[in-house]
Amino acid sequence: MSEYSFGTTNIGAGPRRPGRRLRIFWLLVGCGLLGWRPVAAQPRPAADTLAPVPEALVRHYLARSLSVQSLQLPSAALVGQRYELMRWASGAGMRLAGRLGGWWSTPWSDAVAQAILDTLRRNIQVLHAGQPDIVAQGCIFEIVEPPVNNLTVPNRLRADFGEDTLALPMRHFRFTDMMYPGYYSAADSNHYRWDGRPPGQAPGTPDLSRPEAQLWFYYCAVRQIDAGCEALHFGQIRLLDNRDPGHRAIWSLLQRVRRYARTRNRGFVLCDAHTHGEYYDPLPPTPLPDSLRQLLFDFHSCPLRPNEVDTVRAGTHGASLDRGDPGNPAGAIYGLSAGGRAPGGWLCRHLPAQAEFDNGPTGTPDRPGQWPLVWGRDEIDWFAHQPAAYRNEWLVYAQARVRQLDPDTYFQMPGARGVTLPHYPGGAYWATVAGQSETIQAIWAAEAARRPLIGPPAPPR
Nearest to 422 by CA among 375, 451, 381: 381
Contact of 303 with 85, CB cutoff 8 Å: no
Torsions phi, psi for 409 (to 5 deg): -115, 140
Domain membership of residue 61 (yes or no) is: yes
Domain membership of residue 48 (yes or no) is: no
For the segment 93-113, what is each residue's pLDDT rounded down to a tens digit? 999 999 999 999 999 999 999
pLDDT of residue 230: 97
Domain membership of residue 11 (yes or no) is: no
pLDDT of residue 15: 37
For the segment 281-325, what is each residue's pLDDT rounded down to a tens digit? 999 989 999 889 999 999 999 999 999 986 555 455 889 999 988
For the segment 25-49, what is each residue's pLDDT rounded down to a tens digit? 333 333 333 333 332 333 343 334 4
Region 70-75 average pLDDT: 64
pLDDT of residue 12: 34
Q: What is the C-alpha to C-alpha distance for residues 267 and 263, in angstroms, rounded to an integer?
A: 6
For the segment 399-434, what is each residue's pLDDT rounded down to a tens digit? 999 999 999 999 999 999 999 888 787 788 999 999
pLDDT of residue 447: 77
Nearest to 280 by CA among 354, 179, 208: 208
Q: What is the C-alpha to C-alpha distance for residues 119 and 451, in angstroms, rounded to an integer?
A: 38
List the strands of the sheet with 294-295, edge to edge: 279-280, 294-295, 340-341, 347-348
Domain membership of residue 290 (yes or no) is: yes
Domain extent at residue 309:
57-448
Question: What stretches of 131-210 show up as alpha helix (H) in DSSP?
Answer: 155-160, 189-192
Domain membership of residue 454 (yes or no) is: no
For the segment 118-167, what is each residue's pLDDT rounded down to a tens digit? 999 999 999 999 999 999 999 999 999 999 999 999 999 999 999 999 99
Mean pLDDT across the chain, nearest whole number?
85
Statement: residue 238 has pLDDT above 80: yes
- What's the total number of domains in the chain? 1
Region 47-57 average pLDDT: 69
Domain membership of residue 16 (yes or no) is: no
CATH (domain of 130): 3.20.20
Domain membership of residue 103 (yes or no) is: yes
pLDDT of residue 59: 96
Statement: residue 223 has pLDDT above 50: yes
pLDDT of residue 187: 67
Domain membership of residue 137 (yes or no) is: yes
